[in-house]
Amino acid sequence: MPDLYEEKLKFLEETANKIRQAIVETLVEAGSGHSAGSLGMADIFTAFYFHILNHDPINPAWSERDRLILSNGHICPVLYATMAYAGYFPIEELKTLRKINSRLQGHPCRFSLPGVETTSGPLGCGLGQAIGMALAAKLDNKKHWVYCLMSDGEHNEGNVWESAMFAAKHRLNNLIAVVDRNNIQISGFTEEVMPLEPLKEKYEAFGWHVKEIDGHNFEQIVDAVNEAKAIYEKPSVIISHTIPGKGVSFMERNYLWHGKPPTKEEAEKALKELRTLKGKIECEN
């Protein structure tokens, strides 16, 4: 993976802002969908698709590609927006989200859109799917990496921990999970609904290498992945602390935005904030 430099950091920041704007525009057009998590994960997705992943948007089925699995499929607006900007399909197609016959379904479907690795919907399944891919790669002596992006709330599901035990048993050091630790889920704050802490110590007890980062800091994101790639005896998990609704002040840290889209008026306000932020990024760089 190439090192980050000033111009690349500027590019990533500007791209993440464009993706956030596209998320808002897509959601208001659809009239349904998940805002908070999608906006909060824009920096993680930007870092992966524009710096970390070994992939080819022109040839999505390339056998040597890295695999990225989105377990919490309800934040697919950020996946679709990132894929569009990365060149997998036209940006204009984002406006078809959740519409009849659209390739951009309310949860990702691998049979609908080239570049989507798994069909997701039921929470807690993504890590097991990623483990299957990582184990298969080991058996076939393949060198690609398998990444699994997960929500914190889905760690309420027991099959996540069954998968975590399996990955450690088989020493899947080609597997890197990223947990979106935004502290919210659809019915409230995670620590009130079903406390997850101490999350780091739990994963360590299950035999994983663990790194905690600021999920909005590109240098920390990239450094954490590089560190995980240097671990030879166990799988790795990056606990990424993010702000749900990042970039839109009235959505930030508000769990009520977990599962709803903005109205037209709210979208206009959100886009104004994001465009103002875009100008600040350009000036600072």
In terms of Cα–Cα distance, which of 278, 280, 283 is closest to 17? 278
pLDDT at 278 over 70: no
pLDDT-derived band at 126, boundaries 50, 70, 90: very high
Helices (H), 140-217: 158-169, 190-193, 199-205
Predicted confidence (pLDDT) at residue 121 exceeds the cutoff of 90: no
Please state, rounded to an integer, the average pLDDT across all residues of the chain.
96
Show Cβ contacts of residue 49 under 8 Å, excluding neighbours closer than 6 positions.
Answer: 55, 82, 83, 85, 86
Q: What is the predicted pLDDT for the residue at 5?
A: 84
Least confident of 102-106, 119-123, 131-135, 266-270: 119-123
**What is the predicted pLDDT for the residue at 280?**
64
Q: Is the pLDDT of residue 144 over 80?
A: yes
Report pLDDT digits (tens) over 215-262.
Answer: 999 999 999 999 999 999 999 999 999 999 999 999 999 999 999 999
How many Å apart are CA 103 and CA 94, to the nearest integer?
9
Torsional sign, CA 63, 110, 52, 85: positive
Please say whether the beta carbons of 102 and 126 come within 8 A: no
Phi, psi angle pair for 146, to nearest 5°? -120, 125
Q: Does residue 283 surpass a pLDDT of 70? A: no
| C-alpha atoms less than 13 angstroms from C-alpha of 3 in its C-beta half-sphere | 2
Q: What percent of the chain has pLDDT over 70?
A: 97
Report pLDDT digits (tens) over 159-218.
999 999 999 999 999 999 999 999 999 999 999 999 999 999 999 999 999 999 999 999
Phi, psi of 174 (to 5 degrees): -95, 10
Q: Find the helix packing angle between 6-30 and 76-86, rounded to 10°.
A: 130
Give residue 282's pLDDT.
64
* CB burial of residue 214 (10 Å; 0-12, 13-18, 19+): middle
What letters, b where the CB count within 10 A reaches 16 and e where it falls short, cover 126-143? bbbbbbebbbebbeeeee
State the chain's maximal CA–CA distance in angstroms: 53
Does residue 277 have a pLDDT over 90? Answer: no
Residue spans of alpha helices (H) in 206-251: 218-229
Q: What is the pTM of this model?
A: 0.96
Which architecture, in CATH terms, is 6-284?
3-Layer(aba) Sandwich (3.40)
Host H or E run for residue 208: none
Residue 179 φ then ψ, to 5°: -100, 125
Tell me which of 27-41, 66-80, 112-126, 268-282 is least confident.
268-282
- pLDDT greater than 80 at residue 279: no
Domain boundary assignment for the chain:
6-284
